[in-house]
Structure 1
Amino acid sequence: MCCGRGFPLQVLLTGGQAGEAPQLPRLLELEEKKPKVLVADKGYDSQVVRKVLREQSIRAQIPERGLPEGNKRRRKGRPPKVSRQMYRQRNIIERLFGRLKEMRRFACRFEKLADSYLAFVQLAFMKICLKPYFSDTP
C-alpha cells in the first residue's frame, strides 16, 4: 500500500501462491489512518473487497471486470462509477514496484526466509523514502 505521492505505507508478505485481493482487509487493518479513496485495478473487483471498503467508509475506484461476449453482469444494480482521472493515479503503485524491481535482490529474491526477505523490502522502502532528502536530482 502506498500514499498518493508514491511513498510506501504498509507491506504484507504472503506466500507466492496467495492472491493480492484477499489480503486487502488485513492490509487495511494494519494502517492507522484509513484512506478516503482506494484506487485499484480490476483484480480487486469482488463483492468481498467492495463490502469491506463500504463498511469502513472508503470510496472504491475499482472498475468492473470485463465479461466474455454474451454473459450477463455478475451483480445486480448499476455498475460502479469510476473516475478516469482518479483511476489514472493507479500508476503510482506500479511505479513503486518498478523502483523495487530495479533492485536485483528484490526481483530475484535471493533471501529464502520470509523474515530476511521482509527486512530487505523494508530497507528498500526506507531507501525510496529517503532518496529525495539525500539526492542532488529530484
Structure 2
Amino acid sequence: MACDGRGRPLAILLTPGQRDDGICAQPLLERIRVPRAGLGRPRCRPDQVVADKAYSSRGLRAYFRRRGIPHTIPEKTDQQRHRHNRGRHGGRPPAFDRQIYRRRNIVASYEAAVSLASFLLWARSV
C-alpha cells in the first residue's frame, strides 16, 4: 500500500504472501493517481517515498532517481559490506534521514483499519 503523510491510501496492490515487496514497489507506485483540485492531470508522483530495508535495491533506487522521487530507505547490511569491499569504486552511501524514516509506520494504522473492516464484514454475515 502507498499512503500519504496522514495514512490515507493512494494505491493498493494485492500480491501473494511469498512475493518480495521490493519487486512490487514499482507497479504499486505506477498506480498512484491523485486528482487535482482544479483542472489538470492527476498527480502520479509522490513527494517522498519512505520504506524499510525490504525496498533497498539498486534497481528501485535508480527508478526513484529517474522519476525524480526523493526517498528514504536504509541500506541493507550486505549492501553496505559490498560497497565497502569495492573501496572507492563502491560509491557513496545513499542519503538517509532518521527523522523522516520514523514516519514510515503511518501505514500500520491503515492496516489496522483494513483488519477492522474485514472483521465487521464477517460479523455482519454471521
TM-score, normalised with respect to structure 1: 0.66
The one-letter amino acid paired with 1:57 is G
Task: Give the superposed CA RMSD.
Answer: 2.4
Q: Deviation of residue 42 (structure 1)? A: 0.6
Residues 22-54 of structure 1, C-alpha deviations (whole Å, 9 max, x = no match): 111111111122112100001100011101111
Q: Deviation of residue 99 (structure 1)? A: 3.0
Q: Deviation of residue 100 (structure 1)? A: 2.4
Contact 1:36/1:57 (8 A) holds in 2: no
Q: Deviation of residue 79 (structure 1)? A: 0.7
- Partner of residue 22, structure 1: 23
Q: Deviation of residue 104 (structure 1)? A: 5.1
Distance between the aligned counterparts of 2:94 and 2:72, measured in 1?
8
Aligned with 1:84 (options 98, 102, 107): 98
Confirm or deny that 1:59 pairs with 2:70. yes
- Partner of residue 109, structure 2: 95
Distance between the aligned counterparts of 1:21 and 1:48, measured in 2?
10
TM-score, normalised with respect to structure 2: 0.72
- Partner of residue 83, structure 2: 73
Q: Deviation of residue 105 (structure 1)? A: 4.4
Confirm or deny that 1:40 pairs with 2:16. no
The one-letter amino acid paired with 2:29 is L
Aligned residues: 105
Query: Structure 2: any 5+ residue segments left out of the alignment?
Result: 34-42
